[in-house]
Amino acid sequence: MASALLIWRLCDGRRGHDNQSLGLVEALARTVHVDCEAIPVSGAIGGALGVLAARARPRPALVVGAGHATHLALIVAARRHRARSVVLMNPSLPRRLFDLCIVPRHDQVRSADNVLTSLGALNRMRPSTARDPHAALVLLGGPSRHHGWDDAAMLAQLRALATSQPALRWVVAGSPRTPASMMAALQATGGVSAVRFEHTAPQWLPAQLAQAGVVWVSEDSVSMAYEAVSSGAPTGVLEVPAHGHGRVRAATRALLEAGLAIDMAQWRSGARPRAPEHPLQEADRCARALLDRWPELA
């Protein structure tokens, strides 16, 4: 039996970053035999010192990480163990220091031999066909440096959706950024079931995305929008006030232009979310590209 591809997955403790690195590792494991070790890092210097001290661990062939806190540790671990380094974002350190940078296309980085662009950030979602046509899921973000927020405008959109399809069971889930005023207003609104982020387990969202008959995501929550289309769900995008035309809006526009989702303007014109003929599976595509680049890892 061939030996396993030993991967170190450097983790900064942020759920979104874990989602990205796990998405790539799980996609690799669908093609080759993988043995993955999750190694926590706490800050740039602490993470680098931690991987230097990890002498008892088997030497990895591949080191993967997402999040700025993992960057220095990625470089140190890869050089110490002569492993390949893969960073899942546009890094804050020079890209030439990494063997491969998998960067969302909307970041618009310059083309290079060690840069692979993806449509959105990688995630763990797999296409599902076991959908409940009566289940409608709404995923809300909140104000950020890229977007503002308007409770009244969001409630108006949700009421319009729920009124147009009263037979559906509408579940609206908040996130850590969702204002408390928005969640309170939802709980006082009839026809929807409001779910607070702190009341959900890590597997709650993937399970909901796998079975929902339709998913609507607020425009600021670009990672959740990409998870929704990766799950194969019919997906719509809710309007949120934006601060200019930055990379988050560009990421959302990419989904719309690819025909993977619709926005509220299209919905008002009569369009309805439809399941994509070919669900987005960027983790698998990037895993194949990685193994093509380094066939000795397979």
Q: Supply the CATH number for residue 11's domain.
A: 3.40.50.2000
- The boundaries of the domain holding residue 208 are 132-268
Please identify which residue in the block is written with the tokens 């908040």. 174
Domain match, 112 and 141 both: no
pLDDT of residue 164: 95
Query: Does a structural domain hold residue 112?
Result: yes
Q: Total domain count for the chain?
A: 2
Which residues contact residue 169 at a Cβ distance below 8 angstroms, ignoring those fewer than 6 apart?
Answer: 134, 135, 136, 193
Domain match, 245 and 291 both: no
Token couple for 273: 């979310």
Residues 48, 261: contact at Cβ < 8 Å? Answer: no
d(CA 19, CA 28): 14
Query: Does a structural domain hold residue 216?
Result: yes
Residues 255, 183: contact at Cβ < 8 Å? Answer: no
Query: Does a structural domain hold residue 165?
Result: yes
Domain match, 64 and 105 both: yes
pLDDT tens string, the chain, 298 residues long: the values are: 468 999 999 999 898 899 999 999 999 999 999 999 999 987 655 555 566 556 557 889 999 999 999 999 999 999 999 999 999 999 999 999 999 999 999 888 999 999 999 999 999 999 998 999 999 999 999 999 889 999 999 999 999 999 999 999 999 999 999 999 999 999 988 889 999 988 898 889 999 999 999 999 999 999 999 999 999 999 999 999 988 777 888 899 999 999 999 999 999 999 999 999 999 999 999 999 999 999 999 9
Which residues contact residue 265 at a Cβ distance below 8 angstroms, ignoring those fewer than 6 apart?
Answer: none
- Which pTM value belongs to this model? 0.89
Query: Does a structural domain hold residue 274?
Result: no
- Judged on CB neighbours under 10 Å (0-12, 13-18, 19+), 274 is middle
Query: Does a structural domain hold residue 84?
Result: yes
Domain match, 166 and 251 both: yes
Query: Does a structural domain hold residue 87?
Result: yes
CA 31 to chain centre: 21
Domain match, 171 and 85 both: no
Domain match, 137 and 170 both: yes
pLDDT of residue 139: 98
Domain match, 24 and 113 both: yes
pLDDT of residue 244: 75
Which residue type does 286 have?
C
pLDDT of residue 243: 85
Domain match, 70 and 42 both: yes
Token couple for 32: 């080759």
pLDDT of residue 165: 94
Query: Does a structural domain hold residue 21?
Result: yes
pLDDT of residue 15: 86
Query: Does a structural domain hold residue 69?
Result: yes
Domain match, 153 and 198 both: yes
Domain match, 110 and 37 both: yes
Rounded (to 5) percent helix, strand, coil in the chain: 40, 20, 40
Domain match, 120 and 138 both: no
Residues 126, 29: contact at Cβ < 8 Å? Answer: no
CA 216 to chain centre: 15
Domain match, 111 and 163 both: no
pLDDT of residue 199: 87
